[in-house]
Chains A and B, each alone.
Chain A
Amino acid sequence: MKNAVGRDIPESLLTNGREVYQGKNYMDGKYMQKAAPKTRRYEKPQESKIVDSIVDALKAVGARSGMTFSFHHHLRNGDFVVNMVMQAAIEELGLDEITIAATSLGEAHDPVAQYIEDGKVVAIQTSGIRGKIGEVVSAGKLKTPAIIRSHGGRPRAIEAGEVHIDIAVVAAPTSDCVGNCRGIGGKSNCGSLGYAMTDAKYADHVIVVTDCLVDFPNMPASVEAIDVDAVVVVDSIGNPKKIASAAARISQNPRDLMMAENVAKVIASTPYFKDGFSFQTGVGGPSLAANLFLEQEMNKRGIKMGWAIGGICGPMVEMLKKGLVGKVIDVQDFDLDAVNSINQTPGHYEMSASQYANPANKGAFVNKLDFVVLAALEIDTGFNVNVLTGSDGVLRGAPGGHPDTAAGSKCCIIVTPLVRGRMATVCKNVVTVTTPGDCVDVLVTDYGIAVNPLRPDLIQCLDEAGIPHVTIESLQEKAYSLVGTPDDLEWEDKVVAVLEARDGTILDVVRKIKPVKL
């Protein structure tokens, strides 16, 4: 069945009331029944919840085959915890039929690929899927199709009971003996623990893994002891060098800077650019550099930003400290400047993934966003964006908060070079639709700007500001004239991943790619 972005969704997936994507805000006003976890009562006072090992913690919460384990990705590519827990569960306890429900999975989790090949891990639900896991899933080795959700779609699915977490594992830079967790104060600091918050509230059992035990009470706690069953202290939860990079520097690449400057010009041309406006940007070269030029536009106009959300890194913290931004609220911190600022710098707060981006709650932050600046692996002439699959059709990306911020914001700007090497970024049809075109407003490339025809108001803004723009078709033609027209990918029938829209409908599927024959 064709959905609203023209993708053919197999009927076999449309069971249990599951629908295909119908367009933005389709579920608005509908009611949902929230799913409550079944949790154990600890009425008798406990001196401590510390157990000796991950195996003991798993035993303590009754881990068995067929269960769903949740993880969060604040330790990014430095994370040790997913692998430690999976090794304990599979190799030491002999469990199988395991579902991993993670907020993101990356190269750090390459060892999990083997458990997929061995048939021990049979299902994966995640936002990001990269490295070897992406390769084995793309090769059709996971028993069931992986489910890919946005950062807002995941808490929605958890709250709706579409994914029921048996055991949530919290990788905590600091914890006390009963499981009050914070993302700072230890040796593997990550700042915000926003993605772990919903998991901890909705899981039947919660295990905290930390490498820095601190005195009770560890306040203010991101994950609270009232939700935690067991605490394990290990030598190291991750590699600090890969958890938070040194201060993110604004790109000096003239191409990035030129695009960033145009992003700021587009922003300044709209009526939303006024005192107190709200903003989110990514950490990629041109997205991050947009901060710099936005600051100049703000100074020119004599206005300040009301608040910013993200994924946050140093340049935004810098603007907060300079008083150019009122408040910064984040689910994740990308560099040490941000890690060391959250809950420390006045005005820098933490929020949960649900509060950030969930489309089914009563008003997430993304719904109040004026502007979001995002990157793309590909964008097609329908303004549909792909941030999940590579040009070879293999899973190697993450929708993250992309679809959520695009849908919620008043003005969503995609910034990307027209071509990357021999790859056309602006193309006729993206490999996978991860953010539907009806949520994307403006495209800024190094070869020109295009505005979605769905937004004649923005076209008028650019015209009045004298910002030249062209059709997205002309950018796509330019891209193909530079690097050639790509051949269509060849797929087998088997669906290896289902891409869920943030509202729970099906936006697209990824099929098994046919091996390349030269």
Chain B
Amino acid sequence: MIPRPRPERFRLRRSMMFMNAQKPGLIKDAYIYGVDSIMLDLEDAVAENQKDAARFSLYHALKTIDYGDTEVIVRINGLDTPHWQEDIRVCVAGGADGIRIAKCESAQDVLTVEKAVEEAEKEFGVEVGRTLLMAALESPKGILNAYEICAASPRMFGVAISGGDFRKCMQTKPTVSGVDMLVARGQMLIAARAAGVQCFDTVFTDLDDTEGFLAEVRQNKEMGFDGKSLINPKQIRPVHEIFAPTEKEVAQAEAWVSAFREAQAKGIGVFTVNGKMVDVAFIPGAERTLKLAKACGMYEGDLV
């Protein structure tokens, strides 16, 4: 049995790769590709009459495979199905780091899942509060209620939009510019930041359209997303490259953080670095840049 460390609510999640929980060949060592989080799917990838088999496969994987530093999240079936309660029991019993709530539309949906998770934690002797939650917004109603969803529980670490279902509801198709989901993405981002949780973009399904994929990832970064959902390992590296800070940003962040630490020790609040005034407000962002740089192999110092 593989013990997993207590999940971190806020960690680096540039890439979350979906894989069918029923495919042992895929899930046995998905961590080798260097993805930040893997998303084992019990929902759409699994046929209706295979849900139970997929749960067995998932439980076995969680209990026997050492995923190391890679976060393991499970996408459970929607609350309108007969599967989600049993899905939650399996996730908690197996020790998944987090659960992705499919088709989430309200704070109540989060609370409903949270209650079932807590019951499962008690049932299986898992520390109460260990299992994290994230919500997938797949409908206009979900987007409109984004803030209350993000803020519904201290277990919530983030929110993601699911393009397929959302576009269906909106009667739109994917566009090159991303205008079809611009408002939804923007609203979700604002809600996530307001609630202090992370925000992830939807999958890009045309594996042959490399240019389209790169353009979308660049836009994701510019809009302020923390990461992107992926469907193939070959999408991981481009995402990590695009989400990486520039060398200039890293150097600046390093200078700010070290100057801040020095100033703090001397009891100074505001100081200048290379002629620019810097105060405490700049520091969390600079620290985030350094953490990201460290994950990208661009920073080896010990400030973070």
Give the interface of A toward B (CB within 8 A): 254-255, 257-258, 446-447, 466, 482
Known: A255-B32, A257-B234. 14 other contacts (CB 8 A): A254-B33, A254-B232, A254-B233, A255-B233, A257-B233, A258-B32, A258-B33, A258-B233, A446-B29, A446-B32, A447-B29, A447-B32, A466-B297, A482-B28
- B260-302 residues with Cβ-Cβ distance < 8 A to A are 297
A383 to B83, CA, bound (A): 50
Residues of chain B at interface, number, CB under 8 A:
8
Q: Which 8 A-B pairs have the closest CB atoms?
A: A254-B233, A446-B32, A254-B234, A447-B32, A258-B33, A466-B297, A257-B234, A254-B232
User: Can you report 5 residue pairs joining A to B where beta carbons are below 8 Å apart?
Assistant: A254-B232, A254-B234, A255-B32, A255-B233, A466-B297
Residues of A within 8 A of B233 (CB): 254-255, 257-258
Least CB distance, B184 to chain A, in whole angstroms: 30
Residues of B within 8 A of A258 (CB): 32-33, 233
Least CB distance, B20 to chain A, in whole angstroms: 15
A447 to B232, CA, bound (A): 18
Residue with the greatest number of chain A CB neighbours at <10 A, chosen from B29, B233, B297: B29
Least CB distance, B247 to chain A, in whole angstroms: 14
Least CB distance, B71 to chain A, in whole angstroms: 19
Residues of A within 8 A of B232 (CB): 254
Q: Of all chain B residues, which has the CB nearest A258?
A: B33
Residues of B within 8 A of A254 (CB): 33, 232-234
Least CB distance, A297 to chain B, in whole angstroms: 14
Q: What are the interface flags for B224-247 relative to A under an 8 Å C-beta threshold, 1 for contact and 0 otherwise?
A: 000000001110000000000000
Residues of A within 8 A of B32 (CB): 255, 258, 446-447
Least CB distance, A421 to chain B, in whole angstroms: 10
Least CB distance, B23 to chain A, in whole angstroms: 13
Q: Of all chain B residues, which has the CB nearest A448?
A: B32
A257 to B232, CA, bound (A): 12
A255 to B32, CA, bound (A): 9
- B192-221 residues with Cβ-Cβ distance < 8 A to A are none
Residues of A within 8 A of B29 (CB): 446-447, 482
Least CB distance, B102 to chain A, in whole angstroms: 25
A447 to B33, CA, bound (A): 9
Q: Of all chain B residues, which has the CB nearest A259?
A: B32
Q: Of all chain B residues, which has the CB nearest A466?
A: B297
A255 to B28, CA, bound (A): 13
Q: What are the interface flags for B21-63 relative to A under an 8 Å C-beta threshold, 1 for contact and 0 otherwise?
A: 0000000110011000000000000000000000000000000
Residues of B within 8 A of A447 (CB): 29, 32
A506 to B218, CA, bound (A): 59
A91 to B233, CA, bound (A): 56
A209 to B289, CA, bound (A): 70
Residue with the greatest number of chain A CB neighbours at <10 A, chosen from B32, B232, B233, B297: B32
Least CB distance, B17 to chain A, in whole angstroms: 10
A446 to B234, CA, bound (A): 14
A482 to B29, CA, bound (A): 10
Residues of A within 8 A of B234 (CB): 254, 257
Residues of B within 8 A of A446 (CB): 29, 32
A255 to B30, CA, bound (A): 10
Least CB distance, B116 to chain A, in whole angstroms: 34
A446 to B30, CA, bound (A): 11
A466 to B299, CA, bound (A): 12
Least CB distance, A55 to chain B, in whole angstroms: 52
Least CB distance, A371 to chain B, in whole angstroms: 23
Q: Of all chain A residues, which has the CB nearest B300?
A: A466
Least CB distance, A110 to chain B, in whole angstroms: 31
A446 to B33, CA, bound (A): 8
Least CB distance, A290 to chain B, in whole angstroms: 16
Least CB distance, A343 to chain B, in whole angstroms: 36
Q: Of all chain A residues, which has the CB nearest B234?
A: A254
Least CB distance, B135 to chain A, in whole angstroms: 29
